Amino acid sequence: MAHILAFLQLSLLLTVTNVLSEFSAEDCKSLGYNKATLLCSTCEKFKKFELNDIHEKCQECCLKDEGDDNSSSKRYPKAVLEVCTCKFGAYPQIQAFIKSDRPNKYKNLQIRYVRGLDPIIKLYDAENKLEDVLDIHKWDTDSVDEFLATHLQMD
């Protein structure tokens, strides 16, 4: 019985240590990472160049990819990118994404032009009910593409 209790205590200690070792969003920002959008697969690229210290810190700030854990990455059946064409001058990266062939990769992505609106992505469930709205005005073209590839269901 004592062995089981010791094992449970050790398991709890390791779990708490693991949770506490993860960096806060502010810590990650000071390291140059955006904890809300950094995917762990991006961190793996540092290993190729033997940048182990950077890789370890990146791992503390990243979101698990779909391949790492299927439950951590929700996929949505539909997304709508909304923006006003009058804002293209302020957000050339969003214009570049929309005008490129990248949106064609996503059959369930709709581009909607809404007067005066800064760029957002709306995510919908299978019943076409709005699940989430994301402000993407600071995202670059690759970030939009990577997000959609990760979170949008492919038909």
> pLDDT tier at 13 (50, 70, 90 boundaries)?
very low
User: Which range, of 25-39, 77-91, 96-110, averages the lowest pLDDT?
Assistant: 25-39
Distance CA 22, CA 38 (A): 14
Higher pLDDT, 62 or 129: 129
* pLDDT over 90, % of the chain: 47
User: Which range, of 60-64, 111-115, 131-135, averages the lowest pLDDT?
Assistant: 60-64
* pLDDT tens-digit readout, 44-93: 888 888 888 888 988 888 877 655 444 456 889 999 999 999 999 999 99
What pLDDT score does 19 carry?
Answer: 44
> Looking at residue 51, what DSSP letter applies?
-
Higher pLDDT, 107 or 72: 107
| DSSP-derived secondary structure for 8-31 | HHHHHHHHHHHHHHSPPHHHHHHH
List phi, psi (to 5°) of 76: -105, 140
Q: Structure tokens of 150? A: 């990760």
Question: What beta strand segments (E) does the chain contain?
Answer: 78-83, 109-113, 120-124, 130-135
Distance CA 56, CA 142 (A): 23
What pLDDT score does 44 carry?
Answer: 83
* pLDDT over 70, % of the chain: 80
pTM above 0.85, yes or no: no
> Which CATH number does 78-151 carry?
3.40.30.50
Do 33 and 61 contact (CB within 8 A), yes or no? yes
What pLDDT score does 34 carry?
Answer: 82
> pLDDT tier at 4 (50, 70, 90 boundaries)?
low
- Mean predicted lDDT score pLDDT of the chain: 82
For the chain, the structural domain boundaries read 22-70, 78-151
Distance CA 130, CA 127 (A): 9
